[in-house]
Amino acid sequence: MGASNNRLSPRQKMINLMYIVLMAMLALNVSSDVLDGFTQVKEGLVRTNDNIEQRNASIMGALEAFSQQNPEKGLAWYQKAVEVRSQTARMYELVDSLKEQIVKKADGAEGDVDNIINREDLDAAALIMLEPATRRGAALREQIDSYRGYITSVVTDSVKSASIEQALSTASVQRKGEIGEMSWEEYKFENQPVVAAIALLTKLQNDIKYSEGEALQSLLANVDAGDVRVNELNAFVIPDSRYVIRGGKYHANIVLAAVDTTQRPNIYINGKRLGENGLYEVTAGSAGNFDYKGYLEVPHGDGTFTRHDFSSSYTVIEPTATVSATMMNVLYAGIDNPISISVPGVANTGVSATMTNGTLTRRGDAWVAHPGKVGETATVTVTADMNGKKTEVSRTEFRVRKLPDPTPFISYKDAEGNTVRYRGGGRGIAKALLMQAPGLEAAIDDDLLNISFNVLSFETVTFDSMGNALPEVSEGNKFSSRQKSQLQRLKRGNRIYVTRVKAVGPDGITRELAPLEIIIN
């Protein structure tokens, strides 16, 4: 029964449909007063845009004038301002073209933005801005997003940047009573009278001009924002070195340093921040050249910092004092003579040396002189690298002498296994130890020189009961069998003499050494 009672007649359905259409027409009807209000708003925005443009042009003129007066300081900021104006002009012209297309859609090809006839037209704005094929509204939103990102990158003030973000926002909108969000372009242009759409686009142009003005003002402020304010001037002398060798040059830079005693820069060396006084101290633990680098962070009035890198080096030398006896400038021929060469204030790597009558070779931080002819003078010339220039700093003459004669000895091992050199006389030597010795050796071992010689030959002499001398000849530096037999016959208290000892040293000179007296104990 319920189903039959609810069935409507064709006439009733027609009446209901007409009612719905009438209600829709009433809902879409816009009064002339509202349309006049939109027109007044649009005209007011146009006047505001003209005023903002005059202000922006004035700022642009100031930037241009400063860039001409001081190109090094102002040209970069002026060029950025030109780019801002260019980006703004493109956005402004894009909006102008959309306004013109909407009005012509409503009024025909002769439509005039400043004199709209069909102001209440609800379709023209949507057809131009929301047409899926052309996507003019979506394209405008994308252009606004790009422009907003560019402008906020120019404005350094976070508060002003947030204001621009809000003014040029294209976020989706949630309408009351509706499910889901509407895109920015749908919210602005769907079912919107032509005059309202034109007013909204004019408001957008107003926001664009406002954003341009904030960006230009920020650029003008940045011209001086990077300047460092100072309240104290000091003169400083910065020498390359405080040590100058005779014949060298003293170099120093005389500079004027400007500082702000109320706001010190942050100084970092090797990643570590220094104290406020800027004093860099380091303990010199070893000699050599040492490099260091760092940077300064200088604060500016706008809260930003500029970084200034620097690098330098210093040289550490060993504390030295030269004490020499002028009568003892002696080099021995045929051997390596160690020599110490240093120049105060110059690293070892910056010192070089040469020698006459022989060779001079560097070995690490030391030098070795190997003189040539005995009796001739050897001159050592020292050169140092002073500020990139080779400078001769000293010449020293040495007398070249042959090595002194070595002392012959017999070598054996004591009870603890230590090597003992028996040089004759004294308390004597045990016969058993003497028999174990292979032969005779010779060396200079006076704590000044330690040089071994090669024994070429020697004789041993003993005396019979009649007092007759019994000489025996060695086999090189070894005891011969006859000498061994001679030693075997010795008794406690007997003496044997080693004579005619011939030896040759590293200098190649053969010499005859003093005899050696051996006492058997």
pLDDT at 496: 93
Could you say which DSSP state residue 295 is in? E
Which segment, 19-28, 36-45, 123-132, is predicted with the most confidence on average?
123-132
The tally of domains found in the chain comes to: 4
Rounded to 5 degrees, φ, ψ at 454 are: -100, 115
- Domain hosting residue 152, numbered range: 26-173+180-225
For 378, other C-beta atoms within 10 Å of its C-beta total: 25
pLDDT band at 244 (very low <50, low <70, confident <90, very high): low
> In the predicted model, is pLDDT for residue 327 greater than 80?
no
At 394, which CATH number?
2.60.40.10
Residues 139 and 254 in one domain: no
pLDDT band at 275 (very low <50, low <70, confident <90, very high): confident
pLDDT at 15: 47
Residue 43 counted as domain residue: yes
pLDDT digits (tens, 9 = 90+) for 437-455: 999 999 998 877 889 999 9
pLDDT at 196: 85
pLDDT at 221: 83
Q: Regarding predicted confidence, which is higher, 110 or 36?
A: 110
> In the predicted model, is pLDDT for residue 27 greater than 80?
no
Given 401, 427, 459, the domain boundary residue is: 401
Residues 412 and 396 in one domain: no
pLDDT at 5: 46
pLDDT at 303: 64
Residues 369 and 497 in one domain: no
Residues 60 and 203 in one domain: yes
Residue 395 counted as domain residue: yes
> In the predicted model, is pLDDT for residue 23 greater than 50?
no
Strand order in the sheet with 366-371: 337-339, 366-371, 358-363
Residues 192 and 262 in one domain: no
Kindly state the percentage of the chain with pLDDT values over 90. 37
pLDDT band at 2 (very low <50, low <70, confident <90, very high): very low
pLDDT digits (tens, 9 = 90+) for 142-178: 999 999 999 999 998 888 999 999 989 999 887 776 6
> In the predicted model, is pLDDT for residue 249 greater than 70?
no
Let me know if 72 is exposed, middle or buried by CB neighbors in 10 A (0-12, 13-18, 19+).
exposed
Contact 72/229 with Cβ under 8 angstroms? no
pLDDT at 12: 52
First to last CA, the chain: 156
Residue 121 counted as domain residue: yes
Lowest mean pLDDT among 104-108, 128-132, 317-321, 470-474: 317-321
Residues 367 and 291 in one domain: no
pLDDT at 228: 55
Contact 184/141 with Cβ under 8 angstroms? yes
Residues 397 and 427 in one domain: no
Residue 17 counted as domain residue: no
pLDDT at 177: 65
Given 379, 401, 423, the domain boundary residue is: 401
Residue 9 counted as domain residue: no
Residue 321 counted as domain residue: no
Residues 43 and 191 in one domain: yes
Contact 290/213 with Cβ under 8 angstroms? no
Given 375, 401, 427, the domain boundary residue is: 401
> In the predicted model, is pLDDT for residue 325 greater than 70?
no
In whole angstroms, give the CA distance from residue 140 to residue 127: 15
pLDDT digits (tens, 9 = 90+) for 186-229: 888 888 888 888 888 988 999 999 999 999 998 888 776 555 55
Residue 122 counted as domain residue: yes
pLDDT at 254: 79
pLDDT digits (tens, 9 = 90+) for 97-113: 998 999 999 899 998 98
> In the predicted model, is pLDDT for residue 320 greater than 60?
no
Residue 1 counted as domain residue: no
Residues 74 and 194 in one domain: yes
pLDDT at 82: 94
In whole angstroms, give the CA distance from residue 398 to residue 400: 6
pLDDT at 157: 87
Which residues lie across from 503 on neighbouring strands? 455, 511
Which segment, 124-138, 278-292, 296-310, is predicted with the most confidence on average?
124-138
In whole angstroms, give the CA distance from residue 92 to residue 210: 12
> In the predicted model, is pLDDT for residue 22 greater than 90?
no
Predicted TM-score (pTM) of the model is 0.44
What SS3 class is residue 100?
helix
Residues 131 and 60 in one domain: yes
pLDDT at 26: 38
pLDDT at 248: 61
Question: Would you state the torsion angle of the CA atoms of residues 220, 226, 231, 234, taken in this order, to the nearest 10 degrees?
Answer: -140
Mean pLDDT on 480-509: 92
pLDDT at 461: 95
Average pLDDT, the chain: 83
In whole angstroms, give the CA distance from residue 294 to residue 310: 6
Residues 236 and 331 in one domain: no
Residues 281 and 188 in one domain: no
Mean pLDDT on 395-415: 91
For 104, other C-beta atoms within 10 Å of its C-beta total: 16
